[in-house]
Chains A and B, each alone.
Chain A
Amino acid sequence: RKEVEQDPGPFNVPEGATVAFNCTYSNSASQSFFWYRQDCRKEPKLLMSVYSSGNEDGRFTAQLNRASQYISLLIRDSKLSDSATYLCVVKQGAQKLVFGQGTRLTINP
């Protein structure tokens, strides 16, 4: 079983739609969780951290379910510029980040 699993997609949705990504992780001792965004042929960049109580940043909402070892990302009112690959990331131990394989999203006009 992979340490971090995501649906690879691709997801193709119309502009303005709401889209949700899910991610599961295998190490129950993991303490920190993140969503990164990677544009085509670019390096990954942090989108948002994921907190136990859930957190929101504009159109983006991240949630964590520790009991189920499950993380989600919701994008509302999607824009063309949201097209990218979204990487679920879990921190193991003090420093090591483990990346999921990413979910590719394309927003269509």
Chain B
Amino acid sequence: SAVISQKPSRDICQRGTSLTIQCQVDSQVTMMFWYRQQPGQSLTLIATANQGSEATYESGFVIDKFPISRPNLTFSTLTVSNMSPEDSSIYLCSVDAGNTGELFFGEGSRLTVL
């Protein structure tokens, strides 16, 4: 299993600003995943973050809007840039700690953009 800490747990931000979400894992993992869960919706993968290389983004998500850092095997950040109300969502960090297909999730960062 893996224990994942995310912060901030929630924030209210003004339109046009940027917010960086941090994700810390209690063990070394190769890949970290960033998901978004919009109100009443399921999870959508934003990108996969590998240590030492650029993140791989899913269709509909771009690096300029969601830059990701992965400086080591236990930590990653996701920035939501130039925010608009449509970015209001829960952002979740996850890892596949055992290569079993089971994902462990952080508690999520609930973002509200005014």
Taking beta carbons and an 8 Å cutoff, which residues of A are in contact with B?
Answer: 32, 34, 42-46, 49, 87, 91, 95-102
Q: Which residues of the partner chain B approach A46 to less than 8 Å between Cβ atoms?
A: 102-103
CB–CB A97/B107 < 8 A: no
> Which residues of the partner chain A approach B103 to less than 8 Å between Cβ atoms?
44, 46, 97
Instruction: Give the contacts of B40-98 with A (CB-CB under 8 A).
Output: 41-45, 48, 92, 96
Q: Which of A34, A43, A95, A102 interacts with B42 by CB under 8 Å? A: A102
Chain B residues with CB below 8 A from A95, complex form? 31, 33, 48, 96
Cβ–Cβ < 8 Å partners of B34 in chain A = none
List, in ascending order, chain A residues with CB within 8 A of B92's CB: 43
Q: Which of B33, B43, B101 touches A91 (beta carbons < 8 Å)?
A: B101
Chain B residues, Cβ within 8 Å of A87: 42-43
Number of B residues near A (Cβ < 8 Å) is 17
Q: Provided the pairs A34-B101, A95-B48, A97-B101 are in contact, do residues A43 and B96 lie with their beta carbons within 8 angstroms?
A: no
B94 to chain A, nearest CB (A): 8
Find B45's partner among A32, A43, A97 (CB 8 Å cutoff): A97
Q: Return chain A residues, CB-CB under 8 Å to B44.
A: 99
Shortest CB–CB separation between residue A99 and chain B, in angstroms?
A: 4
Which of B31, B102, B107: most chain A Cβ within 10 A?
B102
Is the pair B101, A101 in contact by a Cβ cutoff of 8 Å? no
29 A-B residue contacts at CB 8 Å? A32-B101, A34-B101, A34-B102, A42-B107, A43-B92, A43-B105, A43-B107, A43-B108, A44-B43, A44-B103, A44-B105, A45-B105, A46-B102, A46-B103, A49-B102, A87-B42, A87-B43, A91-B101, A95-B31, A95-B33, A95-B48, A95-B96, A97-B33, A97-B101, A97-B103, A98-B45, A99-B43, A100-B42, A102-B42
A-B CB proximity, top 7 nearest: A43-B105, A101-B42, A99-B43, A99-B42, A46-B102, A32-B101, A102-B42
